[in-house]
Amino acid sequence: MPDLRLDQLLSQFGYCSRREAAAWTKNGRVCRGGQALLRPDQRVAPEEVLIDGAPVEFPHRLLVLLHKPLGFACSHDPAESPLIYDLLPTRWARRHPAPFSIGRLDRDTSGLLLITDDGPLCHRLTSPRHEVEKTYHVTVATPFPPGLADCFSSGTLLLRGEAKPCLPARLDITSAHTARLFLREGKYHQVRRMFASQGCPVTALHRQAVGALTLDDLPPGAWREVSPDQLG
Ligand code: URA
């Protein structure tokens, strides 16, 4: 990250507006090497400064894993509240660029969701060529129809309104009403539509993993930092 003017740094990382930066520096809230930085036009490396005694959050790229609870929308539109962004620090919404989710989960789907401010990383993770595997835990109300796993793995299942069939997907049936589905793409409502197309509606859906990343003990609504190398 190149050096930035302090007022630009404070506004870019969501601490305050450029206009407010003069008061922040004057009040000694920004330091480097134990010295207060008093001029808002001074250029600094974001990773070298402390703001109110703490390092700049995610000075290079923001990438976190959120355990999305049921009932939250993957949207920036307040009309759709509650939003997944309500679960993240409010300062992040003022960052430029603001963080966004890599793909979406339905309001009534829970589980692992990645949040970033890195457009190229998002593109890499969602492009059909590089698409990483996503693991869903699926609950259904009716018994699984015979041949469902073969149907999903065939690469010929064409969902209504789609031009191309679903890519081959693995289905592991784990009990009379539960299964794990492994997908390498992300069409709109894909899991629910795949099961519904075979007369077997989904009653609960939870994403357990994206690539090598899992939720581990992270409780619903909580988030933790991850490194892109952990995506496997
Ligand atoms: N497929 C769905 O149907 N819903 C989700 O939230 C994710 C995948």
Report the separation in Å between the CA atom of 50 and the middle of ligand 1, taken as the mean of its atom positions: 41
Residue to probe by mutation, ligand 1, list 72, 75, 106, most atoms within 8 Å of CB: 106
- What's the whole-model pTM score? 0.94
Q: State which of 138, 189, 197, 206 you would mutate to test the pocket of ligand 1, scoring each by most atoms of that ligand within 8 A of its C-beta.
A: 189
Q: What is the mean pLDDT of residues 48-52?
A: 96
Ligand 1 atom with least separation from CA of 189: 3
> Are 78 and 65 within 8 A, CB to CB?
no
Q: Give the closest residue to 56 by CA, choosing from 65, 44, 66.
A: 44
Distance CA 139, CA 137 (A): 7
**Average pLDDT of the segment spanning 3-17:** 96
Nearest CA to ligand 1 atom 3: 189
Q: What distance in angstroms lies between residue 114's CA and the mean position of ligand 1's atoms? A: 14
Residue 221 has pLDDT above 80, yes or no: yes
pLDDT greater than 70 at residue 35: yes
* CA 133 to centroid of ligand 1, rounded, Å: 14
The set of long-range contacts for 90-96, using a CB threshold of 8 Å and a minimum separation of 24, is: 91/13, 91/14, 91/15, 91/57, 92/14, 92/57, 92/62, 93/14, 94/11, 94/14, 94/15, 95/12, 95/13, 95/14, 95/62, 96/11, 96/12
Ligand 1, atom 4, lies closest to the CA of 189
138-195: pLDDT as tens digits: 999 999 999 999 999 999 999 999 999 999 999 999 999 999 999 999 999 999 999 9
Q: What is the pLDDT of residue 230?
A: 85
pLDDT at 162: 97
Question: In 84-132, where do the E strands start and end?
Answer: 100-101, 109-116
The pocket around ligand 1, CB under 6 angstroms, is made up of: 105-106, 109, 189-192, 205
> So what's the pLDDT on residue 56?
96
Per-residue confidence at 232, pLDDT binned at 50, 70, 90? low
CATH architecture of 61-224: 2-Layer Sandwich (3.30)
Report which protein residue has its CA nearest ligand 1's atom 7. Answer: 105
Q: How far apart are CA 160 and CA 164, in angstroms?
A: 10
CATH code of domain 4-55: 3.10.290.10
Q: 106 is written with which tokens?
A: 């339905």
Domain ranges of the chain: 4-55, 61-224
- Residue 64 CA to ligand 1 center (angstroms) comes to 20
Beta bridge partners of 68: 111
Q: 105 C-alpha to center of ligand 1: Å?
A: 6
Catalytic residue ranges: 106
Q: Is the pLDDT of residue 69 over 90?
A: yes
Identify which of 191, 195, 203 to mutate to test ligand 1's pocket (most ligand atoms within 8 A of the CB). Answer: 191
| Spatial separation of the C-alpha atoms in residues 25 and 41, rounded to whole Å | 10
Range 61-76 average pLDDT: 97
